[in-house]
Amino acid sequence: MTAILSLTGVVAGYGAGDILKGVDLTIEKGTITCLIGPNGAGKSTVLKTVSGLLHPREGTVVFDGDEISRLSPKARVQRGIVHVPQERSLFPGMTVTDNLLLGGYLIRDAAVVRSRLEQAWEAFPICRSRAGERAGSLSGGEQKQVELARTLILDPTLILLDEPSIGLDPRSRGIVFESIRTLSASGRTVLLVEQNARSGLAASDFGAVLESGRVRLEATGASLLDDPEVARLYLGAGASAAPSATPPLLAHDDEGMRR
Amino acid sequence: MHALVQGVILGVLTGGVYALMASGQTLIFGIMKVVNLAQGAMVIMGAYLAYQLFVSFGLDPFLAIPITTVVMFGLGVAVQLLFLRPLRRDDKSELSLLVTFAVALLLEGIMSVTWSTTYRSINTSYANSSWTVLGYQITAVRVWAFALSLLALGLLFLLLNRTRFGRAVRATVQNPESARLLGIESDRVAALGFGLGAATAAAAGSVYGLLYPFYSGSHYDLISRLLSIVVLGGLGSVGGAVVAGVIVATSSAVVAATVSPAWSEMTFFAVLILVLLVRPQGLFGTVGRGAI
């Protein structure tokens, strides 16, 4: 497999504090990778560092062979990186179609945008049936589908999804994870942050455990799901299901682990 | 009854002009979350430019608008780049209130030095013409001013709703981080948006100069009214500014015509307080994100 994204020794944060304290992470092309870990571990910060909302203080971010650490969000979008943040990212006062069209803001060829809009409508029929409605009037699950559809307008190589299932009912969660698998099946790479770690890992090819600003473990999604220590700390299994404030360092190296 | 209707006619016509002045200010707030205290000074600067073009070249203030808007657009972009962008970069946007007040004082100083502090007015050939319709007097200059304001607001609406730049502005107002993630450069939108706000001030300034005598310090009166309109309409809402402009100007004119001109000025703020008691976010404002 070919690595599409590599973070090496990335240190990043807000203000004077560092959230990421030396993140090393490699994402393979065409896969779904889920980042899990306790609150405050830096999962969303990893995504912001990849999309350019944050620039690393140290370390490098390499995408498709090029270092992109200092590039603007716009330059990264042009290279095919799309980030769907945790907070609702639609423009609530605009129609669903206007929101989708903004996904193609950087594409000058109207015919290309139109053709991708058709593809997005096909993949997410709700975007066609609610085309003229204000995005802010849609339910949480519907809005998430519009957000995912919007990523298709750019035909991205790498899609960063921050907590796509947060606040959704079980049915909407199912639709969203199915949509993520559809996005991946078309050859795109997905890096996913998911508080609902069990669902996230189940939908992913690979997983990584982030703890205190460092990647402690990388493995296949299935291996992490089967790992009793990971299950105890992050998947809500057993009596001590809830992760403690400072979970112990995961230091074992089961079969299937990449490090 | 006659005085009431006459007041409504006068108020609606004047309200259109206020709406144009305030639309630029609310646009700037929507994009940058900056309360631009220099908006009034920019309107007066626009009035002076129109005055100078009229005096020097005999150019009608309405015809001068394409020139004054371009000049003021450039000034607005320069102000954003020189004074406001550094604050955004250093995460000190809360100082923007002081900075825009300093810009207002700077503009006032430039205007005082260039045109002195005596009152000026633009006296065109049609300044005193009026029509009588069903017994009500309607001055020509106010009708033209209202029509021009509607035209300018219409163009602003088309710009915001039918162009790529307009979509970028609206997106930045409603969700700035998400806009950046789609490749919209918020710094560029902020600079052009501030320029656009200054351009609307220039258009409104030409009209203001036709309606009222003005001097370099006239912006103090103006800014308090503009802030009332912007807050009443809902911070960041251009549509709200238009509606609020018409409401407060009409209320003010009706009070002047039916009660006393002495109470007219206070009407601006009385309407504002009454509405905010019921709707703290203003008529068309949103509690959280911006609206445009």
Angle (CA) B241 B42 B72, round 5°: 105
Distance from CA of B91 to the nearest CA of A (A): 10
Residue B31 CA to chain centroid, in angstroms? 16
**Among chain B residues, CA nearest to A107:** B183
Res A61: pLDDT: 97
**Domain boundaries along the sequence of chain B:** 36-231
Please say if the pLDDT value at position B27 is more than 90. no
Per-residue pLDDT of A152-186, as tens digits, reads 998 899 999 999 888 888 888 888 888 888 888 88
Stretch A83-89: mean pLDDT: 88
Residue B267 scores a pLDDT above 90: no
How close B188 gets to chain A, by Cα (Å)?
A: 12
Side chain identity, residue A92: P
A84/chain B closest Cα distance in angstroms:
8
Residues of chain A in contact with residue B179, where contact means CB-CB under 8 angstroms, are 91, 102
Q: How far is Cα of residue A73 from the mean position of the Cα atoms in its chain?
A: 15
At residue A256, the pLDDT reads 40
Across the interface, whether the CB atoms of B174 and A94 are under 8 A apart is answered yes
Q: In the prediction, which pLDDT does A175 show?
A: 85
Contacts of A49 in chain B (CB under 8 A): none
- Range ranked top by mean pLDDT from A19-28, A85-94, A132-141: A19-28
CATH of domain A1-80+158-244: 3.40.50.300
What is the per-residue pLDDT for A158? 96
- Going by pLDDT thresholds of 50, 70 and 90, the confidence category of residue B174 is confident
Query: Are B181 and A73 within 8 A, CB to CB?
Result: yes
Q: Which residue of B has its CA nearest to A79?
A: B183
**In angstroms, rounded to a whole number, what is the distance separating the alpha carbons of residues B270 and A18?**
50
pLDDT tens for B64-73 read: 999 999 999 9
pLDDT digit string (tens) for B158-168?
Answer: 998 888 888 89
pTM attached to this predicted model: 0.79
Q: Which residue of B has its CA nearest to A101?
A: B167
Does B33 have pLDDT greater than 90? no
Per-residue pLDDT of B205-228, as tens digits, reads 999 999 999 999 999 989 988 998
Residues of A with Cβ-Cβ distance to B182 under 8 angstroms: 77, 102-103, 105-106, 150
CB contact under 8 A, B183 and A73: yes
**pLDDT confidence bin for A74, thresholds 50/70/90:** very high
pLDDT band of B87, cuts 50, 70, 90: confident
Residue A251 has pLDDT above 70, yes or no: no
Partners of residue A67 on adjacent β-strands: A62
pLDDT at B84 over 70: yes
Are A94 and B170 a contacting pair at CB < 8 A?
Answer: yes
Confidence tier at A250 by pLDDT (50, 70, 90):
very low
pLDDT of A124-136, one tens digit each?
A: 899 999 999 999 9
Give kind and range of the element (H or E) at residue A162. Answer: strand A158-162
The answer to whether the CB atoms of B174 and A101 lie below 8 A apart is no
Q: Is the dihedral of CA B264, B266, B268, B272 positive or negative?
A: negative
Q: The complex's ipTM?
A: 0.81
Lookup result for tokens 């020189």: B82
pLDDT at A237: 57
Q: CA separation (Å) from A165 to A50, A57, A142, A211? A: 21, 30, 11, 21
Residues of A in contact with B168 (CB under 8 A): 105
- Closest partner residue to B182 (CB to CB) among A72, A77, A98 is A77
User: Which pLDDT belongs to residue B262?
Assistant: 85
Mean pLDDT of B185-197: 91
Of A78, A91, A94, which is closest to B183 when you measure between CB atoms? Answer: A78
Work out the minimum CA distance from A225 to partner chain B, whole angstroms: 32
Between the CA of residue A87 and those of A32, A130, A161, A175, B170, what are the distances in Å?
Answer: 21, 21, 11, 18, 18
Which residues are A8's β-sheet partners?
A60
A102 contacts in B (CB within 8 Å)?
Answer: 167, 171, 179, 182, 184
pLDDT at A245: 38
B289: chain A residues, CB-CB within 8 Å: 92
pLDDT value at A248 more than 60: no
pLDDT > 90: percent of chain B? 45
Domain borders along chain A are: 1-80+158-244, 89-155
